A and B are shown apart, each in its own frame.
Chain A
């Protein structure tokens, strides 16, 4: 992991912890800010991926994956930003689903890391399983929005801590010259 990637992971971790804490403190308001933040973040990422495709990746073998990635992320961003006026229950359901998706991706990456002999697969698998577990727990309490917000916020704090750990631990660097 390069310094830049470490800084990115630390920022993401700290931001997740702050947002998690804010949501526990202000359960009725902080989630709107979270949705906006995720939406804007995804929009910037989606558009920059599309620009990268049209200026660089479209000339690359198998570069179309960048186009698909850009379109899907931008689509997600627009959907996320449109959730501002939707009742809290639905927004929380969307956030929980997004969190579960992140957990699933982490589990898949853990299996991939294990297949290729990587050393970090246990940490990734644990992270993914806890994320999915938290989401299942949220869904079980969907009728009680305050409980869902607290469980989700704890999940956000946990996710933030895991990002900090992965940024601060030493990594194996696969570089062949």
Chain B
């Protein structure tokens, strides 16, 4: 997902859930900041670098792919961008090494999502924003894992876009990929960029949805393809429907976080709340464009009647740098860092508890002796 959904759509969802304009801005800023908070950024403001929620391309270039390096990558990407759907998934006749990667495949409505939202309930608006980023990505990044893996994240080259023609019939056309990193996706020419095939299981090029290019990030596209883990069963990814579910689930989750719902249940959506806007939202989601920021921004400003400022990554940097050490925790970025560490700790701990070491060891659990 991109800024259009993580920032502007999250603002809309927060406002519909009952937060006021300023609270909604804090939430959507935090949601978008998850894609910006790298080690490079954190070391620049002299903050804890283990709170990083993303890795820059340059950082990835230097990333180690030994077990420690893989654990570091997995902690970041599985915690914030590819929340595992089922850490205890079973599959006959598979090796443990394979299953450790298979169990990290991302998907919506998981036990970990419930834990993520419940964790945010006790937290700040920054924690709410982080949880909304994670929730939204479970829909967009479904079927890929937040750990480098050829056997999970690879695909065949056979991608087909499914669309409705002028007669209203569903037809499909082949999607062409190229590997030129400097070229933007050409929606009219049906040329998309994806990452190169890398035969090395643990290559960072095999992290996430690189082989499917930006397709998971576009709300308008419906397509079918063959995932590496899928036993040759084709998979249809209906982004307009998935993004609508993500939006409705964000509203429901934030109503729970505000105390307006008693519990957060899986597979539950605030359809009644978004009903008056559903047609409008659907038209934004289905509009064939690289970036839907302008449309979501217009909807958000209509909802609240207030202007939504553009996202500025440095907005809270000066505040954080100026306050003294004791007050940093109370600064906007201090609260974000605290929430990010809590989320990363929770997910890493759950992965470790499942007997999977790809997320690394969790110190607290080792100290408490909760694991043999």
Contacts and interface: CB of A to CB of B under 8 A. Distances in A.
Interface of A: 1-4, 52, 55-57, 59-63, 66, 69, 116-118, 171-177
Contact of B154 (A52, A61, A174): A61
Which 10 A-B pairs give the minimum distances between C-beta atoms?
Answer: A117-B180, A116-B179, A60-B151, A176-B210, A60-B228, A55-B95, A174-B181, A56-B151, A173-B61, A174-B195
Q: How large is the interface on B (under 10, 10 to 19, 20 to 34, 35 or more residues)?
A: 35 or more
Contacts of B207: 175, 177
A27 B308 CA distance: 75
Interface of B: 57-58, 60-66, 81, 94-95, 97-98, 150-151, 154-156, 178-183, 193-196, 199, 201, 203-205, 207-210, 213-214, 226-232
Nearest to B151: A60
Nearest to A57: B151
11 contacts: A55-B97, A57-B150, A57-B151, A59-B94, A60-B229, A61-B155, A63-B151, A117-B178, A174-B181, A176-B213, A177-B210
A177 B38 CA distance: 14
B54 to A, nearest CB: 8
A175 B98 CA distance: 23
A171 B62 CA distance: 12
A55 B210 CA distance: 24
Interface centre among A59, A174, A177 (most CB of B within 10 A): A177
A169 B183 CA distance: 22
For chain B, what secondary structure do more than half of its interface residues adopt (helix, strand, loop), or is it mixed? loop
Given A3-B62, A62-B156, A118-B179, A175 B205 contact: yes
A94 to B, nearest CB: 25
Nearest to A116: B179
A1 B61 contact: yes
Nearest to A65: B199
Given A4-B65, A57-B151, A174-B181, 6 more contacts: A3-B62, A59-B94, A171-B61, A174-B196, A175-B207, A176-B193
A176 B229 CA distance: 20
A61 B210 contact: no
B156 A61 contact: yes
Contacts of B196: 116, 174
B98 A61 contact: no
A63 B181 CA distance: 26
B209 to A, nearest CB: 7
Nearest to B155: A61
B196 to A, nearest CB: 6
B183 A176 contact: no
A116 B179 CA distance: 5
